[in-house]
Structure 1
């Protein structure tokens, strides 16, 4: 991640110095060595941007004294003291007094370094091409002398000492290494050489950064194995030194240029071109973790320092300027390793960033950063919603947003525009967070810990006693509804939220808040009554919803659409609640407005809960309705829908139907007289509703009682059905024949039972004999009777003997009109004879089959056996001849005395032959 953020600052700390040769930094001191052998000790003022304050100055000594006419080549701070090369000698001095403590090497010392990770070891290079390892005793606080001596082939151009490894660059500009513990000879790294300026920097105990061709930096292990990490491309200018501060790699060039890279995710993040009197002479950095945040750079006459800017201050500054991406970039560079600490800090940064985005009116960005917050480190959504829940709070925030926009020269927001954006943001975070807490709704013992941003709009103090899911959701849902009512997109958001059916607002526990919501709903939803009704219903405020619909309908009598809507919603609520009190109170109004729609309410009035006797009495008291019609519909609904078995109610329903029909045509009307009118009457609902009810298998009416009500009326279809139900078939057929419904009479016999055909024949003859009409009618009935014989003569139910008994004595078989009768009798006699013959044949065949089976049994019971002198009893094994014996069907022979009491059981196999031949 690359960003334009100033990470380091460079300042001058000393100037006009006299020929500085070397500097070295300790934990709180900087030692400056001059070419004339003078050394100054300065305190590092960390709180004042690492300025220096002179602590002690050691002037050049006179003849025979310390540093007299000597040349100081190099100094290094070592455990608060100083190691210096003076005229080729490696000397060890007290850091406070600069009194000589020890001479470590007498002469010919060319260079030395301190072990990077074992600070009590020193490596020195001599002109004799030797590498000497000096060991420091931390108990006696003195050097033990030369511990190891390694012969070199040449004096290295660059060398380093880390753990027990010596790393160096030879004259051929090859990188080499050797392990002291393994007594290894120097080995060459198998990497490309840098022919111009080889250089390396020890990063850790097992990682080195080194330059190969084209000044490309790579990372390798101490043994030269390539570490899979991106390369770093350095400038081609001559390099003076490379240092590390935290995860930053600083390359110092001789032309007063510093390049800063993130070496964990290699990328150039800053370049600093600085002024320095002369070229760089020495660079120093402390190995202490406390003071290694600063590097001092010295020329012959000037010292400057480069240090990291305070991370938290940088982040805060970027947030205040709403440069969120730069702040995140800086964060990634600072926390380059993925750890729980990084995740926690990153989430806190996202939450803080969201507030500064809000202050600049960048709500989409604030929303994005909050989406990035991982749920294992929660932000308390209440810090947003509980301090931005009034119009006044929002106006203050809008003023702050516009003030910041003016500072950044951006267009300000209109109040309505800004308010809508704030509300959309708040609605989003409420919906997002409630989805999370709903997962833990039933875990009442689970509580949450939150990060509260110090940058909230107003001071927010969380209530630590209300940290379980339900308590948090109650706050979220209350404020979410408020924001929805305050927003422009009320309908969509509210419908969606109510459809979830999981709001945690409790009107009983949050009375004050709920009253506020009710007032908001009433103010904002006057033009959306169905939604207001749905809001009431969601919180079980059904009486409010019902009153609202009734009042609106009564106040707008001419608005048919509104009245229709009110009726439909009232019916819906009554059906959903199924509460008797609501039905008693609001059903009369619905009945008065629209009877047919009101009937829907009857479908939920279970007679086990709503006693029919009380409901019928209640309906009698409802004014301005057709009470008989309504009661009829009510009874029909409960009896059919709920299969309520109360015969008195079934009879009463029939009576309602019959009375309504007789109101149109009097019962005494003759069917023939009102034939045409009845045909049109049959088209009305009640005619077929009554017929359907009578025919319904679940109807429990008293057939005799109902028949008495419609007897001798024009409701002939209903009479026919009841007569059929009472098995008064002859009367039913007689009515059909008299009405000349011959085809219906024929169907009646076929549908009910074929046994009715003789009755149909008999009825025709009876009417024919009793008919007082013309001979034409008598001939018609005779003809119909003969047609019955002709059509159904093959039916076994038509017994010729019975038919002959019914034939009138005055019928002449020789008459041409009675040919049908003669043919019927001839055919019937033939069929009867055939049937008798079939019965006789079947009987004879059965007897033959029985005899055949009997023969098979006899043969099955036989057993053939040959006797010899050696034939023995199957039981006692004695001879069988000259004795009485028994023979079984399976060939077993035994003395009669040896056979068990049951002679049906074989004494050898125990087979029971009685059972064997039982079904044979």
Structure 2
């Protein structure tokens, strides 16, 4: 950076000899000489820049020996001076020596610019705090060796440089932490960075540390040789060497400038922004405070701006005199850096500019990043270039203008955009740049800031189309994945691109994403005719929903011809192919009708899936399935009769058996078919057991039992039927009487079935009214055949009588007990008149509503907080009768 200058250097005071230390205060330079004389120079100048000496004052033998270190306590007009191993406070207005802090033992001190002063002695540190307009001694910390450098880090930590190493001391708990050695040179050098970090020199490397001893930065500042001094001059580090000053940036560690000056002994950086040490909070202002306040109020906005520009100035001393190191305004430095294409340093400096409003600063930063991005692209650093384009949310069309080999010019017709002229890329560079572009476009297409552009929808289409083109050229395996995502690719352009590359599968995905399902299915159909791969068309049809029923119906007929077993999946698949899509919910009645008319062999499997898997309660589905089962049964029954002597007889017999079992199972388990309809459709001369169930469902129990008893001769089934239907107090309480009529009534039964009737009577006598039974018993039969039943009835009646007597006596006893308890409560009475007192508050009851507790306590209702707890005795009556009444 030979043409870049961060500082200007000019001499202020020439030929000053034997200087022990110097400092600047306001418009004065205060110099202490080795013989104890004090030289005070007054300067005149505008905008804070001192150009001309207006007065020189000498205070002879101000001290016995020269002052070796000075610091100013702002804004108290107090100078802290170290001389002759003493630390003295001096009034800058009167040059009066105020107070002596240390005597005959001080070697070095460090003032943190706030309220703390640390004085380093040969064997200890002495800590002072600013109180009552002076420094008060607070603590002594012993040391094992002599300190050479002292620096405050924040408010509680001091970094000490010894001859061999650096150490941290926490002044609160006096803990000591060793950092590292000073290196071969054995001379500690340090400078404070922003009050929270410190830079420590070890041989040719300056290393960063914080107040805990940790390393806050992953880098150090490297020098070509060991510096004599280092000092932080925001945002630079200045290294003092024998023949020059070398200036490096703190962030990038690059050399910025060399200033050829020999023999620099001291270097002092002044910051015009002064911390307040005013200890009179809430009290009266002293004269000095008033003076400062008045000065501030007199400054106008322009002066404030100038002062901000020049808030930090450096001064240094060599044999020729005292020089001023004046920083060039940061904005000028930024422009110089941009001109030299040092964009990283320009961005770092731009962040430090506080003379610009935030909006303008951000505009400047954005401009630099834009220029930097173009520069990086030209340097073939494509990834970093795209990173900056992304950061500033640059109009994507500007970025795409760099890719004239990829982006058709017609995309930009009617859209004026600036085009950056870059070098032509070869094939390898083009591919490398496309990889970076893919990452950029992926982030941009999801960016909220994209919506700020007026042509938002057009830009979005451009981005996705170019991204597709980039994938096709470099990452062809990702094309399908990209097209499956929601995208805004230009359909016509994308179709042409995919056809040119022969990417049929990706073309199908494009059609699918754009809702061009007919085109997709035509292409899949073509593929099937070539290689018989039915998986694609099956998966595609399973993706389509109720809006594409015509396509589903059309292509499912073709699919059934190729793969009848897989075709059913098209209609029963409910779950979406993509997790973010809703369920298909195809119209089931329309599908049923289509299958009935076009693919009848799939009707039964479809109905079975709806009923057994999806648990549908639609009676139409249940009725249809049962009728289809019956049609299937009739078909196999006819085959069974005609093929009794054929080789397929066994197979047909098994089919017939299985179909009958399906009918029986369905008739018993389903609750949603219409039995009235089934009675008209099923013939009376076959499937009698199923017909009996239909009759049971419509409440025709007599006819149902007639089938079990007389047609099927299944008395056990008839008994089970009655057991299932019996309701003690319902309409079917006499169901067993109906069954007995089937067994014993000559008008119903051709032959009396005495044995099954006796079996029913003896097993279920408790559920049968004996008086109704007697009317059914045949007169011709011997009574002895029914003696067992009669005995059971008599025993049962006797048991019931005894049970009722026991219950009656228990109820009688309970009634007596209740009456006794009522008498007991009535006897526990108390007379209340106008003079009766509330037993809680002690006031008269009068005509008030009262509450009475089981323990006899009577209180006003208003005195009761909990009706279960007596307010006087605190007894809880929640478990006793009434509790409160």
TM-score range relative to shorter protein? 0.5 to 0.7
CA contact (8 A) 2:42 2:55 kept: yes
Q: Which residue of 2 aligns with 1:549?
A: 524
**Matched position secondary structure for 2:738:** helix
Change (3 A) 1:383 1:486: same
Deviation (angstroms), 1:429: 2.2
Matches within 5 A, 1:182-193: 183-185=95-97, 190-191=108-109
Q: Which has the larger radius of gyration?
A: 1
CA contact (8 A) 1:232 1:267 kept: no
Whole-angstrom CA distance in 2 between matches of 1:711 and 1:182: 131
Change (3 A) 1:272 1:119: closer
Whole-angstrom CA distance in 2 between matches of 1:370 and 1:250: 33
Change (3 A) 1:251 1:604: closer
Match status 1:799 vs 2:755: no
**Matched position secondary structure for 1:825:** helix
Deviation (angstroms), 1:662: 1.4
Whole-angstrom CA distance in 1 between matches of 2:318 and 2:822: 133
Match status 1:477 vs 2:458: no
Q: Deviations over 1:557-588 (max 9, x none)?
A: xx44x224313421x133x2444444454444
Q: Which residue of 1 aligns with 2:399?
A: 384
Q: Which residue of 1 aligns with 2:701?
A: 729
**Matched position secondary structure for 1:546:** helix
Match status 1:431 vs 2:442: yes
2:512 to 507, 527, 537: 537
Q: Which residue of 2 aligns with 1:569?
A: 540
Whole-angstrom CA distance in 2 between matches of 1:633 and 1:430: 49
Deviation (angstroms), 1:729: 2.8
Q: Which residue of 2 aligns with 1:688?
A: 662
Whole-angstrom CA distance in 2 between matches of 1:823 and 1:153: 141
CA contact (8 A) 1:137 1:143 kept: no
Matches within 5 A, 1:187-266: 190-191=108-109, 216-219=188-191, 229-232=198-201, 247-253=236-242, 257-258=243-244, 260-262=246-248
Match status 1:784 vs 2:756: yes
**Matched position secondary structure for 1:796:** helix
Q: Which residue of 2 aligns with 1:663?
A: 635
Q: Which residue of 2 aligns with 1:811?
A: 781
Whole-angstrom CA distance in 1 between matches of 2:715 and 2:423: 95
Matches within 5 A, 1:74-113: none
**Matched position secondary structure for 1:807:** coil
Whole-angstrom CA distance in 1 between matches of 2:828 and 2:26: 116
Whole-angstrom CA distance in 2 between matches of 1:841 and 1:167: 113
Q: Which residue of 2 aligns with 1:152?
A: 62
Q: Which residue of 2 aligns with 1:823?
A: 788
Matches within 5 A, 1:388-407: 388=403, 390-391=405-406
CA contact (8 A) 1:599 1:634 kept: yes
Whole-angstrom CA distance in 2 between matches of 1:833 and 1:241: 119
Change (3 A) 1:695 1:525: farther
Structure 2: gaps (5+ residues): 101-105, 110-119, 123-147, 151-159, 164-185, 205-224, 271-305, 410-419, 575-582, 728-733, 837-851, 853-885
Match status 1:763 vs 2:742: yes
Q: Deviations over 1:65-107 (max 9, x none)?
A: xxxxxxxxxxx66xxxxx877xx9xxxxxxxxxxxxxxxxxxx
Match status 1:698 vs 2:610: no
CA contact (8 A) 2:43 2:53 kept: yes
Matches within 5 A, 1:34-53: none
Whole-angstrom CA distance in 1 between matches of 2:824 and 2:235: 114
CA contact (8 A) 2:35 2:64 kept: no
Q: What is the TM-score of this pair, normalised by structure 1?
A: 0.54
Whole-angstrom CA distance in 1 between matches of 2:806 and 2:319: 142
Q: Which residue of 1 aligns with 2:720?
A: 747
Change (3 A) 1:752 1:679: farther
Change (3 A) 1:9 1:615: closer
Deviation (angstroms), 1:149: 4.4
Deviation (angstroms), 1:718: 1.9
Matches within 5 A, 1:140-179: 149=59, 151-153=61-63, 156=66, 178-179=90-91
CA contact (8 A) 2:337 2:346 kept: no
**Matched position secondary structure for 1:190:** strand
CA contact (8 A) 1:156 1:168 kept: no
Whole-angstrom CA distance in 2 between matches of 1:693 and 1:523: 61
Q: What is the TM-score of this pair, normalised by structure 2?
A: 0.55
CA contact (8 A) 2:434 2:474 kept: yes
CA contact (8 A) 2:245 2:258 kept: yes
Q: Which residue of 1 aligns with 2:115?
A: none
Structure 1: gaps (5+ residues): 11-23, 27-75, 78-82, 89-108, 201-209, 320-326, 403-414, 448-463, 508-512, 773-777, 875-889, 891-920
Match status 1:517 vs 2:494: yes
